[in-house]
Amino acid sequence: MSNSNIEKKINAVTLRLLADYEGGRTIDEVKRFDHPDEEMLVDILSSLRKMIFPGYFRNKSFRVYTVRNNISMLLEDVIFKLIKQITIVLRDDPQYVDAEDDVIVKKAESLTFEFLDKLPKIREYIETDIEAAFEGDPAAYNKTEIIYSYPGLYAILVNRIAHELFLLGVPLIPRIMTEHAHSKTGIDIHPGATIGRYFFIDHGTGIVIGETTEIGDNVKVYQGVTLGALSTRGGQSLRSKKRHPTIEDNVTIYSGASILGGETVVGAGAVIGGNAFITKSVPAGARISVKNLELNCDFKAKPAIDKEEPGQNETWFYTI
């Protein structure tokens, strides 16, 4: 195909798309300056990670590294970018739709510094999460390995950052941050979820934790776990209602388990076995397991395999 023919086809497709943009639909809106910048928000997360772990993630632009100059430069960068992004998204807050620009900028500045004041708290919680991962995973070589390579820790870190912004009422940005972590780790935690200290996600892929979930201290969750809602058929009428479960302190939830419903409470110290499906509250200290399915094998001359491994009993919880 000649260059002239390609150009004609490009022009034809362009004209069709421009005509299609006139439909007045949500996807047809062209807003050049009032949408958050996802790449900038990821940059903010990267800078915050360096501030939270100053000895692990350095600013490579410095030839001579000191914590003070590193943090000063990172803070300046975060402040500039976060104020800009919050200024943009505040227009989605009904109380600021018609506000003057200077009012919105001042509010964005206030929210930015309120958030930055939460960094010591975030660091305090993350320290406990690292400790929980190290104590809870015999495969962990050391804590440095956890900080650099555990997807669960990264997902928790982003959630703890996003959750503080969520509590401050910042629109859109918290969800964009946690969805970035979701795409990177396969772990989907809504920024509205409340998570206590010493939270450990083992393996992590496929975990879903809904907006109104409440998780206590010393909770351990394996891959494929869902802490979800019983039903979302009510749509927007369910907004701000408790739809997701409460998990109390010292609970372990093994792989593939689903715990659903806003009235569902898993009591302190309970253990939820793999693939359990729970829609009612579980008392403290309970052990919930799914009975092994019987496996029949016919190997002709060979005897059938025992359906239980040696030492396996009703307390087996399908861990990996």
Task: Summarize pLDDT for 169-194 with one digit per residue, the tens.
Answer: 999 999 999 999 999 999 999 999 99
**What is the Cα–Cα distance from 244 to 211, expressed in whole angstroms?**
7
* ∠ Cα 282 315 218 (to 5°): 55
- Number of Cβ atoms within 10 Å of the Cβ of 57: 18
Helices (H) and strands (E) in the chain, counts: 8, 14
- Within 89-178, strands assigned E span none
With beta carbons less than 8 A apart as the criterion, state whether 51 and 75 touch. yes
Burial 197-220 (b: 16+ CB within 10 A, else e): bbbbbbbbeebbbbbbbbbbbbbb
| 317 three-state secondary structure | coil
Q: Residues 6 or more apart from 319 whose CB is under 8 A from it?
A: 222, 254, 255, 274
User: What average pLDDT does the segment 60-87 reach?
Assistant: 83
Share of the chain above pLDDT 70, in %: 86
Domains and CATH numbers, the chain: 35-187 (1.10.3130.10), 193-320 (2.160.10.10)
Q: What is the mean pLDDT of the chain?
A: 88
Q: Report the C-alpha gap between 28 and 24 in whole angstroms.
A: 6
- Residues 6 or more apart whose CB falls under 8 angstroms from that of 260 comprise 226, 227, 228, 229, 230, 244, 245, 277, 278, 279
Per-residue pLDDT at 42 exceeds 50:
yes
Q: What phi-psi label fits residue 299: left (phi over 0), alpha (psi between -120 and 50 degrees) or beta?
A: alpha
Q: How far is CA 279 from each of CA 153, 166, 221, 230, 287, rounded to the nearest angstrom?
A: 28, 27, 18, 7, 15
Write out pLDDT tens, residues 212-230: 999 999 999 999 999 999 8
For residue 246, name the pLDDT band (cuts at 50, 70, 90): very high
Q: From the CA atom positions of the chain, what is the Rg in Å?
A: 24
Binned at pLDDT 50, 70 and 90, residue 304 comes out as very low
Please choose, from the candidates 317, 212, 188, the residue with its C-alpha nearest in 3D space to the C-alpha of residue 256.
317
pLDDT in tens, 148-175: 999 999 999 999 999 999 999 999 999 9
Q: What is the CA 6 to chain-centroid distance, rounded? A: 44
* 108-118: average pLDDT: 97
Q: What is the pLDDT of residue 300?
A: 66
Give buried/exposed letters for 286-306 (b at 16+ CB in 10 A, else e).
eebbbeeeeeeeeeeeeeeee
Strand ranges for the chain from DSSP E: 188-189, 194-195, 200-202, 208-209, 214-215, 220-222, 226-228, 246-247, 252-253, 258-260, 265-266, 271-272, 277-278, 287-288
